[in-house]
Amino acid sequence: MTSTPFGRSLCAMITPFTGAGALDLDGAQALAARLVAEGCDGLVLNGTTGESPTTTDAEKTELITAVREAVGDRASLVAGVGSADTRHTVELALAAGKAGADGVLVVTPYYSRPPQEAVEAHFRQVADASELPVMLYDIPGRTGTRIEPETMLRLAGHPHIVAVKDCSYDFLGTQKVLAHTELAYYAGCDEHVLALYAVGAAGCVSTVANAVPAHMAAVLDAFDAGDTVRARELQLRATPLIEAMMGAGLPGTVTAKALLARLGLPAGPVRAPLLPAGRETADGLLALYEELAAA
């Protein structure tokens, strides 16, 4: 059985803001409680969808503390601590542990485009500094640098490195690492949830789950029950919403907040440089959500 160190169905949770753009801790607690009640057994905070580039270190810590208070031990909390600076990443990882996180999500350093030797050294330094288990975040489309499979194979030997959020779009490379390590892989691209799970992943870290947590969990539940036909049906049924939220040219943060706002759930504005979705986009997202909910 695949190890699931942080659960199976994780949501890459948005960070709610007030209308004035301040951190909305009450909203975050309400949203987190809803996500857990509707099928998420883990939450990723301060990640890409959580607008980590535009939240302060203090806000990141406050968010972890507030969400832990809201969900207790009913869900694991994985805190995004990645940055382009190794020293800063270590500081964020230590702060996340003190605030109540169960693990840390560490993205490949961005912009500077370090070679693989430096990428490996970065992850090892963070993993050495914190006692929390580490989920590596492989998303070369955003960072400019991927974690090559050979680097992943070496990092798998570190006792604190236990999982990977996979947005590499390299299914062959992912299968290679799955076949030769005990790393728990989590699909970070919603369209890959079932496909990756079928070859041995631990689960998913889903942005679309902000709006439909029960549906994304049901895909995994059906597969675990041996009903692969049902799992396929559920994955394909979600595809239009997945495409609209993740593949239509807008960041998932923007589309998730637009849809949650239409549903009357905590969201608030996005922070610059992101811009909010237009009315037509929000209308389209709501229509797809309602179509999925009615199916």
| 104: phi then psi, degrees, rounded to nearest 5 | -125, 145
Q: Distance (Å, rounded) from C-alpha 217 to C-alpha 206?
A: 10
Q: Where are the beta strands (DSSP E) in the chain?
A: 9-12, 42-45, 76-80, 103-107, 134-138, 161-166, 184-187, 203-206
Q: Is 165 a catalytic residue?
A: yes
Distance of CA 47 to CAs 15, 64, 216, Å? 9, 12, 19
Active-site pick, 137, 185, 197, 289: 137
Active-site pick, 60, 165, 186, 289: 165
Q: Is 137 a catalytic residue?
A: yes
CA dihedral 286, 288, 291, 294 (to 10 degrees): -60
Residue type, 128: D
Q: Distance (Å, rounded) from C-alpha 268 to C-alpha 271?
A: 10
b/e per residue, 41-62, with b = 16+ CB within 10 A? bbbbbbbbbbbbebbeeebbbb
DSSP H helices, 38-166, are 57-71, 86-99, 116-129, 140-143, 149-155
Q: Return the active site residues.
A: 137, 165
